[in-house]
């Protein structure tokens, strides 16, 4: 589908060229011969502003090319014109990029915007519930990094209730709750959350390593 990515990347300029051809055809031959060009130009230009080039970000994120992802985000001039589901993804990606740069305040601001859009969109409630869960999990981890364990626990519990997209996210969520319970000295709850985290059999090296570290001393805990 590389051709589709090319179309999306240059959709605005394709629309501008089609519009220019439509105007020329209109002048030379009248409106009806130019109608299809006007129509295609409208689809391309409006599509650029309400859908954006968000599809292009996926390959950059999968390859770990944060600079490429930033360029795509920077090419969106008017994010307020994006339809709500796409705008939510836009703010989620901005939040993720801010986290990579250790800009936790910026990350929290953008993730909260994304979360608000998810909650207000009936379309997204029906089709992207797991995205809301992943978003709340990130907010929870951010809160914990800032030392706000209470808010972190609230977000992570909300994430689990909303639903998470895969075993890795579920394992990460329960490990975070395990850490919170350990800090609160609620050892029985910590052990239960640890057991749930392991049950998802995560394969991400960072999560696997965290499980190994906790496993060294969790069995010694009372309860």
Provide the whole-model pTM.
Answer: 0.79
Tell me: the pLDDT tens digits for 59-78?
Answer: 787 777 888 889 999 999 99
User: What is the dotted CATH code of the domain comprising 58-163?
Assistant: 1.25.40.10
Handedness of CA 181, 157, 161, 82 (dihedral sign): negative
Residue 123 CB burial class (10 angstroms; 0-12, 13-18, ≥19): exposed
Q: What is the domain partition of the chain in residue ranges?
A: 1-51, 58-163, 166-223
Tell me: the pLDDT tens digits for 107-141?
Answer: 999 999 998 888 776 555 544 556 788 899 999 99
Q: What share of the chain is helix, strand, coil (3-state, %, to 5)?
A: 85, 0, 15
**Range list of H helices, 52-148:** 55-63, 66-74, 84-100, 104-120, 122-127, 129-145
Tell me: the pLDDT tens digits for 150-185?
Answer: 999 999 999 999 899 899 999 999 999 999 999 999
User: Could you tell me if 135 and 114 are in contact, meaning their C-beta atoms sit under 8 angstroms apart?
Assistant: yes
């Amino acid at each position: 589908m590389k051709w589709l990515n090319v179309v999306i990347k240059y959709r605005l300029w394709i629309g501008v060229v089609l519009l220019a051809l439509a105007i020329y055809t209109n002048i030379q031959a009248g409106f009806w011969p130019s109608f299809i060009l006007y129509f295609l130009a409208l689809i391309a230009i409006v599509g650029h502003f309400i859908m954006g080039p968000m599809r292009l970000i996926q390959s950059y994120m999968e390859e770990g090319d944060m600079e490429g992802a930033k360029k795509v985000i920077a090419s969106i001039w008017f994010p307020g014109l994006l339809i709500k589901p796409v705008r939510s993804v836009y703010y989620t990606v901005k939040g993720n990029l801010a986290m990579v740069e250790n800009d936790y305040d910026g990350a929290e601001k953008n993730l909260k915007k994304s979360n608000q859009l998810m909650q207000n969109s009936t379309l997204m409630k029906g089709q992207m519930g797991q995205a809301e869960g992943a978003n709340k999990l990130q907010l929870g981890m951010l809160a914990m990094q800032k030392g706000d364990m209470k808010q972190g626990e609230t977000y992570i519990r909300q994430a689990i209730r909303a639903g998470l997209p895969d075993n890795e996210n579920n394992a990460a969520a329960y490990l975070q709750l395990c850490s919170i319970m350990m800090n609160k000295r609620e050892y029985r709850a910590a052990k239960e959350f640890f057991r749930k985290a392991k049950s998802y059999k995560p394969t991400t090296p960072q999560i696997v390593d965290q499980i190994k570290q906790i496993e060294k001393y969790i069995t010694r805990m009372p309860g």
